[in-house]
């Protein structure tokens, strides 16, 4: 038992050594992808929303490939999933509200 306890610090240090490069890669992408939009990006966001609405009105969504449609469906399902997860977190219950 004492031998196993003596190995714990070396196991922790080796785990941290192996995890550090992956954590650095995660932080590199997190700084870019999880940052809120800047004020200079707002016109691009408006243009993107306008383009999305006009393509929905024109029926351009009918001309998508199966791969594009599948990706769009998966993105929509992910947004819906995170909405429901947020609701459960906000309610602090899986079913119903605590009255």
Q: Is residue 9 part of a domain?
A: yes
Q: Is residue 41 part of a domain?
A: no
Rounded to whole angstroms, the Cα distance separating 55 from 57 reads 5
Residues of the chain with pLDDT under 70: 96-99
Q: Is residue 46 part of a domain?
A: no
Half-sphere exposure of 97 (CA within 13 A, CB side): 3
Domain count, the chain: 2
| pLDDT reported for residue 82 | 92
pTM: 0.52
Q: Is residue 6 part of a domain?
A: yes
Q: Is residue 49 part of a domain?
A: no
85-97 residue pLDDT tens? 888 888 877 776 6
Domain that holds residue 71: 61-98
Half-sphere exposure of 55 (CA within 13 A, CB side): 11
Q: Is residue 54 part of a domain?
A: no
Rounded to whole angstroms, the Cα distance separating 48 from 33 reads 18
Rounded to whole angstroms, the Cα distance separating 90 from 84 reads 10
């Amino acid at each position: 038992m004492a031998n196993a306890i003596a190995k714990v610090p070396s196991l922790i240090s080796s785990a941290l050594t192996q995890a550090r490069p992956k954590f650095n890669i995660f932080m590199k992408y997190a700084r870019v992808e999880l940052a809120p939009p800047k004020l200079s990006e707002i016109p691009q966001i408006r243009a993107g929303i306008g383009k999305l609405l006009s393509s929905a009105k024109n029926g351009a969504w009918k001309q998508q490939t199966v791969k594009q449609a599948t990706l769009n469906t998966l993105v929509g399902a992910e947004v819906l999933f995170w909405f429901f997860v947020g609701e459960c977190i906000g309610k602090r219950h899986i079913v119903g509200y605590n009255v």
